[in-house]
Each structure stands twice: as C-alpha cells, then as structure tokens.
Amino acid sequence: MSCAVAVLDPVETLPETTRVLLVTQRGAFIHRHAERLVVSIRGEADVEYPLLHLEHVMILVSGASLSAEIVRECCERGIDLTFLTSWGEPYGRLVAPGLLGTVKTRRDQLLAYGDHRGRELGAEMLRGKLLNQANLLKYMAKYRKDRSREVYDAVRDASYEIAQIAEWLEEAPGATIDEARQPLMVREAEAGRRYWAALRLLLRSDVDWEAREHRGATDLVNSLLNYGYGILQSQVQQAIMLAGLDPFAGFVHADRPGKPSMVLDLMEEFRSTVVDRAVISAINLGLGFEVEDGRLTADARKALAGRILERLHTAETFQGKRFQLSTIVQMQARAVAAFVRGDQPYRAFVARW
C-alpha cells in the first residue's frame, strides 16, 4: 500500500495515493499543468502529481510561491492549501467560500454555548483528552516493565490518577460552560502536571527536558511538540470547516480575537495519540532532530511533519471498527455538528493502549 503522505523532494516520484503534500523547499513554485499539480524547484526537476487524489497541500517554508491558477483549481476541488510558520503555527489557509456557507449548524453551535450542550461538550472533550493521556502512558510504560520497574510503577500510577480525574470531569459543577470552565480547567491542569512528569520518565536519559513550555520554547522536546501540534491543528481545522462548524466559536478555550477555539477544543482528544506518541517515539529511536538558534532545523521540521501525518494515517479502533486517525478526526467534527444540532449525543474518541 502506498503512503498517503508525501514530503516533497525534487528527486522523488510521488505515489499515486498521496493525499497530503508537504512543500519544504525554499524557492518552490506550485502551479498547474493539465490535471496535475506541478512543483518546480528553481525551474528544475519538476515533480507532478494528479489533482484527482490530493486533499491537502501544506506549505512549510516562507520562500514558496503559487500561481493563481493552482489556487483556483485547489479551491474548486476542495483541496486545502495551508501555510505554517517555522514554529509550526498555521498562519493562513485558502479554502473555497462555499465551505463557510452552512448556516444552521453555526447558529446551533453559537446557541449551544449558553446552555447545557456547551458544558457537556466541553467536559466530554477534556475527558477524552485525559483518558488518551492515561492510555498513552500505559502503552509506553509496558515496554519498561522488565527494564525499569521503578519507572513502570511511577508511570502506571500517574495513568490511573489521570483516568480518575477524567471520570470526575463528567460531574463537574456548572450548568453552562462559562460556569463549569474554571473547575474543569483546574482538574485538567492537575492531570497535566502528572502526565508531563510521567512522560519525562519515558524519555531517553540523555535527553534534557525540564518542563512543558508552549509558545516561544527553544529546547528540542518542546519545539517538536509545538511544531507537531501546529501540523495537527491544520488537519483539525480542515475537518471543522468541512463539518460546517465555526472554527472560532469554541467551548473549552475562551474566546479571543483570531483564536480558533473550536479547533483547539477538538484537538484535545488527539494531541497525545497523534503528536505526543510520535514525538516521544521518534526521540527514543534517536532520529537526530536538531535545534539551531532556538528553533527546529528545516530537516527536523520536514521529518517531523512527515511522521505526524503518517501517524494520522494509521488505523485505530473506533466505534467497533478500524479507521485512520485522520478519518476519526473528520468523524468527530461531524459528531460535534450533530450534537449541537440536537441530532445525537457526543462521545469523545479514546484510543486503545
């Protein structure tokens, strides 16, 4: 089976089942020829790919350009064009205006904020996040059982404590998300401290990682995590928009201009399963990621993006069947839309360990 992700290199021939294309070379020019997307690198060694199979083009470098014709073609075919900074933060995307044309779902989404639906949805998403954190710890700890019983016991204890906090979230006080947010976030932060402390125990001993840091982090582990979350965010935002939801009208994450709160809410269920697992595994395998001047090198960004997208295209069990994680993201976005419309209950995605 061919890979569903292609990290563009001028000497590669893209597999026919490529769905996500990463452009990482400075000087790349993306244009259209007949029914194919063409990437030229300084006018040489063109790489072509049929537009028929493509779903997403992610541009991970500032020194790339696009023709107006390929922009139109991608918008008409529903191919997402996403632009990320060197820190991994999505700063722009081009989509067809029709994707934003659904009205009923957005109206119900906004109304849900003020009643029990917003509180139930927020609590369930955080419950899913914590259960996935607990399950990732259990999954990674089992490989330490014979090598380091002390680490195994500490990580397993943390996973049980996080799972207990997760189940408490369903009983959090408050009739609306505004009333429930503070107690929910306090317990989520408590679980987070246990999670990151346990995850540090699972890293190779020669890797220096003191604490979890978000924007502006310059160490290797936090830089990898932050960049990976940026890749995940672009995928989740695509699913949110396709489901007819407003990416900025979230529930758990407070409103702020320019903050895609709904995207960040749904991301919570997938952070550990997609990004944390990929990053910790890659580091422990000694893949040689590097940081220069406080940020990941171009090679590190390219390699990490490929691993995150490959992880998104691995299968997990959900609702009794096997689906790619990228498909589960789309299913959960549609489930959120159905929930706010009152069509069905919402249950978080919880990965097996």
User: Is the sign of the CA dihedral 268, 273, 277, 278 positive or negative?
Assistant: negative
What does pTM read for this prediction?
0.86
Q: How confident is the model at residue 19 (pLDDT cuts 50, 70, 90)?
A: confident
Query: Given this model, what pLDDT does residue 18 score?
Result: 56
Average pLDDT over residues 77-93: 84
Q: In terms of Cα–Cα distance, which of 323, 332, 270 is closest to 132?
A: 270
CB-based contacts of 316-321 (< 8 A; 24+ apart in sequence): 316/273, 316/351, 316/352, 317/352, 318/349
CA distance 277 to 351: 12
Region of poorest pLDDT, from 39-43, 99-103, 150-154, 176-180: 99-103
**Would you state the structure tokens that stand for residue 81, as one six-digit string?**
């064009």
Query: Given this model, what pLDDT does residue 45 score?
Result: 56
H/E stretch holding 122 reads helix 116-141
Q: How confident is the model at residue 15 (pLDDT cuts 50, 70, 90)?
A: very low
Query: Given this model, what pLDDT does residue 2 score?
Result: 35
- Quote the mean pLDDT of the chain: 88
- 3-class SS of residue 119: helix
Backbone angles phi, psi at 339, to 5 degrees: -65, -45
In this predicted model, what pLDDT tens digit does every residue of 282-315 receive, in sequence order? 999 887 788 888 788 888 988 898 899 899 999 9
Question: What DSSP assignment string belongs to 283-322?
Answer: HHTT----EETTEE-HHHHHHHHHHHHHHHTSEEEETTEE
Q: How confident is the model at residue 166 (pLDDT cuts 50, 70, 90)?
A: very high
**Would you state the structure tokens that stand for residue 30, as one six-digit string?**
């993306």
Distance (Å) of CA 276 to CA 138, 196, 272, 282, 336:
13, 10, 5, 10, 24
Q: Which residue type is seen at 187?
A: R
First-to-last CA distance in the chain? Answer: 25
Beta-strand ranges (E) seen in the chain are 5-7, 20-23, 28-33, 36-41, 44-50, 56-59, 65-66, 80-84, 90-94, 291-292, 295-296, 315-318, 321-324
Q: How confident is the model at residue 279 (pLDDT cuts 50, 70, 90)?
A: very high
- 3-class SS of residue 27: coil
All domains in the chain, ordered by first residue: 5-84 (3.100.10.20), 104-340 (1.20.120.920)
- 3-class SS of residue 103: coil
Q: Are 279 and 228 in contact (CB under 8 A)?
A: yes
In this predicted model, what pLDDT tens digit does every residue of 91-137 receive, in sequence order? 888 877 766 667 889 999 999 999 999 999 999 999 999 999 999 99
